[in-house]
Amino acid sequence: MPGRTIRILKPAALALATLLVALIVGFLVDAHITYAAELAPVQAVADDPAVAIHWTHGAVVMTPTGESNGSGEPNGSAEPNGTGLVFLAGAKVDPLAYADKLSGLVDSGTTVVIVRPILNFAILEFRPFSTFTDLAPGVDDWYVGGHSLGGVKACQYATDADVKGLVLLGSYCAGDLSDGGIPVLSVSGTDDGLSTPAKIDDSRVDLPPDARFVVIDGANHASFGDYGVQPGDGTASIDDERMRARLTEALTTFIEPR
């Protein structure tokens, strides 16, 4: 009888192990199928003399050069001001997809490090915050932020690392930061089908009472980057140029040299 039981259990255990391996392999394959960055916005940043951009598979580092970008804007040729933003990409989004939308902040003098999280899912990120700040050793004061799932992880770094503030783009915290005493900026879109206006509104209770909330009319979830359409998202009615301008205004007002 025991032998018969073993003979029955062996195929069952093998089937379970096979299923588990298949699930793991499937997840790993899916994790590496990312939302690719659109070429034109990346090229625009590469052509901007006010921004020195360096990228690898794991991160994008954008540093102010102090040169004029020819825009005629007051902050178009700012020198590095000693502040930096570590920004975690959303789930399965290429970090380069955020380069153009965040480059306006770089034009104002802030260094930006855009991180590709472990396996393209920020919730799996385990590296210390210093892993990312070490990529820009000239920065003294750091902020942390992220888009979508990247923002969720940024909330965790905000409680563990020495940062000056937290930036959430189409995102919210999974835990309570209401008593954390850290400045918070939440930027969302009226047409976001994933981090919906209702979800953003519900997240207020988890943030400090003085958290800043900026709502961009006509923006959807994908408006914060340049990576195309995202399933489940709403339809944006704001163009990329206006979106970049609104986002730059919100970020530069919040992130200031201390």
- Amino acid in the structure at residue 60: V
- Amino acid in the structure at residue 133: T
pLDDT tens-digit series, residues 235-252: 999 999 999 999 999 999
Q: Say what the pLDDT of residue 22 is.
A: 34
pLDDT tens-digit series, residues 174-217: 999 999 889 999 999 999 999 999 999 999 999 999 999 999 99
pLDDT at residue 92 tops 60: yes
Identify which of 78, 72, 110, 116 has the alpha carbon closest to the alpha carbon of residue 97: 116
Q: Say what the pLDDT of residue 156 is.
A: 96
User: 144 forms bridges with which residues in the sheet?
Assistant: 86, 166
pTM surpassing 0.75? yes
- 36-254 belongs to which CATH class? alpha beta
The DSSP 8-state label assigned to residue 217 in this structure reads T
Distance CA 4, CA 137 (A): 65
Q: Say what the pLDDT of residue 26 is.
A: 36
Q: Three-state SS for 35?
A: strand
Q: Say what the pLDDT of residue 252 is.
A: 97
